[in-house]
Amino acid sequence: MTKEINRKKLGRELKFGPGKMWWYPVMNTLHEIRKEDNFPDNIILCDETLREGEETPGVILDLEDRMIIAKKLEEIGIPEAEIGYAGAIKEHAEFSKKLKNGGTKLKLVSHTRIYTKENEWKEEIYRAVEAGSDILCLLASMSETLCATTPWLPKEEVPKRIAESIEYTNSLGVVPALTLVDGIRTPLDDFLYAYKVAANVGVKRIYIMDGQGVALPETVTYLVQKLKGIVGKDIEIAAHFHNDYGLATANTLAAIKAGASVVDVVVNGFGDKAGIAALEEIVMSLEILYGIKTKIDLSNIVALSKLVQKCFNVSVGANKAIVGPNIFRHQIDAHIATILRGYWWAWENIKPEFFGLNRSLEFAQGKLRSGRSGALQVKLESMGFDISDKDYEKINLKLMNELLKKDFINEDELERLINNTLKIHDKKL
């Protein structure tokens, strides 16, 4: 028993995306909710799977793994990839050269330390450039904590080192980007001063980095706005947020919304400790919830996630957003009933077909509700059966017996059970 849905009225609640593959709530688009949006014209997704991701303890990648992942990233339209420490780690340099020689379209970013001793930093920049880097992510620190760990470079001398390294990078014809590691913990005046110095000598990109995952979304919004005011509109603002407190996605989106145009992401949110913002969460949120184009081939995101899980030998949680194995499995009676009636959008946001996946409707132990308005009844209707209460009870009983043997039976198995029960019954008559 179902009423037809009034499409016009439905349009006041939700809107469908292209090909009706997903929907978004009208609520997200209200002026009241969008009034502080300040998205950049163009968002650059910088994939860090092969640098930050590789730092997941226990992960060992060989050259072949790196090449396969890089190829897939390029295929789905990722414009930039951080490939490691090409100036300091031999394997990363080799990989970088191989990618360049193969004519990759990816812009290659290399993590490059500038807080090292004497002229080590210069050599590291040189080697990273020699390995084929397009962008150097120069790392320095202005926080008391990290400056204490590099006693050869006192905090007062850091701005000078920043200026020298940016000028040197520029002189080698490569794009300099600056990251204040521990930026979120640096005194605000020092933080702004260091980036001002960098802007004055020609830095092209500056990062807000939260290596400990301790920033709040409001903090991020404030810092992006503050930086934009100081360095002007020609310098890109980039975001790198860790997930120690589950805020990587929130903080990264807050940064983009406030005007950051480059965001670091890792497939599946892997990385050191709790990892950083997950590529799939950022991309799908931007596209579907915020209506922002990313130029990524969205339909391949689940495939990319699986590839990375395989190469890393690390699995995502069962309920991981977007790519978790439970996303298209349904066992709740009411949800199955609604989906069988054709209203997939009642309980799903994206159609499984979009990712080349199948939906799994599972009739499970302890989850089916009594009465004739639930999943079993709708399944019978969809098969064209209009049966008596007595027959219904027969099928229900058989189903319950079946569920004593296993956790759930799928739709095909249920259809067979229904057909068999009704057929046997016919013969008896």
Measure CA 334 to chain center: 30
Site for another protein in 227-246 (CB under 8 A): 243-246
Quick one: which of 39, 126, 193, 343 contacts another protein (CB under 8 A)?
Answer: 343
Quick one: which of 345, 354, 385, 392 contacts another protein (CB under 8 A)?
Answer: 345
Q: Whole-angstrom Cα distance, residue 199 to residue 176? A: 11
Task: Note whether 408 binds another protein by CB under 8 A.
Answer: yes
CA angle 121, 127, 132 (to 5 degrees): 135
* Straight-line distance from the first to the last Cα atom of the chain, in angstroms, rounded to the nearest whole number: 29
Q: In the bound complex, what is the minimum distance in angstroms from residue 170's beta carbon to another protein?
A: 26
Nearer to another protein (CB atom), residue 107 or residue 190: 190
Question: Helix or strand or coil: residue 405?
Answer: helix
Nearer to another protein (CB atom), residue 25 or residue 356: 25
Joined tokens for residue 162: 């920043």
Q: Of 5-13, 159-167, 194-202, 410-418, which part binds another protein (CB under 8 A)? A: 5-13
Q: In the bound complex, what is the minimum distance in angstroms from residue 381's beta carbon to another protein?
A: 13
Task: Note whether 363 binds another protein by CB under 8 A.
Answer: no
Task: Note whether 4 binds another protein by CB under 8 A.
Answer: yes
Q: Which residues pair with 107 in a beta bridge?
A: 80
DSSP letter for 133, please.
Answer: -
H or E segment and range at residue 111: strand 107-113
Task: Note whether 372 binds another protein by CB under 8 A.
Answer: no
Site for another protein in 9-28 (CB under 8 A): 9-10, 12-14, 23-28
Task: Note whether 382 binds another protein by CB under 8 A.
Answer: no
Among candidates 135, 158, 47, which has minimal Cα distance to 86?
Answer: 135
Task: Note whether 300 binds another protein by CB under 8 A.
Answer: no
Task: Note whether 126 binds another protein by CB under 8 A.
Answer: no
Site for another protein in 51-80 (CB under 8 A): 54-58, 60
C-alpha dihedral (401, 381, 335, 315), degrees to nearest 10: 70
Q: Whole-angstrom Cα distance, residue 265 to residue 49? A: 7
H or E segment and range at residue 241: strand 236-241
Quick one: which of 143, 261, 377, 421 contacts another protein (CB under 8 A)?
Answer: 143
Nearer to another protein (CB atom), residue 128 or residue 175: 128
Q: In the bound complex, what is the minimum distance in angstroms from residue 337's beta carbon to another protein?
A: 7
Site for another protein in 317-336 (CB under 8 A): 317-322, 324, 326-327, 329-332, 335
Q: In the bound complex, what is the minimum distance in angstroms from residue 280's beta carbon to another protein?
A: 8
Nearer to another protein (CB atom), residue 83 or residue 146: 146
Quick one: which of 72, 127, 367, 379 contacts another protein (CB under 8 A)?
Answer: 367
Q: Whole-angstrom Cα distance, residue 215 to residue 247? A: 8
Nearer to another protein (CB atom), residue 200 or residue 315: 315
Nearer to another protein (CB atom), residue 168 or residue 241: 241
Q: Which residue's structure tokens are 């210069």? A: 122
Site for another protein in 192-211 (CB under 8 A): 211
* Beta-carbon count within 10 A of 358 CB: 8
Q: In the bound complex, what is the minimum distance in angstroms from residue 190's beta carbon to another protein?
A: 8
Q: Whole-angstrom Cα distance, residue 392 to residue 379? A: 12
Question: Helix or strand or coil: residue 295?
Answer: coil
Nearer to another protein (CB atom), residue 170 or residue 365: 365
Q: Label residue 20 exposed, middle or buried (CB < 10 Å: 0-12, 13-18, 19+).
A: exposed
Q: In the bound complex, what is the minimum distance in angstroms from residue 233's beta carbon to another protein?
A: 21
Q: Of 48-56, 69-77, 125-133, 169-177, which part binds another protein (CB under 8 A)? A: 48-56
Cite the DSSP H helix spans in 232-297: 248-258, 279-284
Joined tokens for residue 112: 């490059």
Q: In the bound complex, what is the minimum distance in angstroms from residue 389's beta carbon to another protein?
A: 16
Nearer to another protein (CB atom), residue 193 or residue 201: 193
Quick one: which of 51, 127, 185, 240 contacts another protein (CB under 8 A)?
Answer: 185
Cite the DSSP H helix spans in 216-278: 217-231, 248-258
Quick one: which of 16, 20, 30, 393 contacts another protein (CB under 8 A)?
Answer: 30
Q: What is the DSSP string of 368-408?
A: PPSSTTSHHHHHHHHTT----HHHHHHHHHHHHHHHHHSSE
CA distances in angstroms from 381 to 6, 172, 312, 375, 409, listed in the order given:
22, 71, 46, 10, 18
Nearer to another protein (CB atom), residue 68 or residue 332: 332
Joined tokens for residue 213: 């995952």
Quick one: which of 192, 230, 314, 417 contacts another protein (CB under 8 A)?
Answer: 314
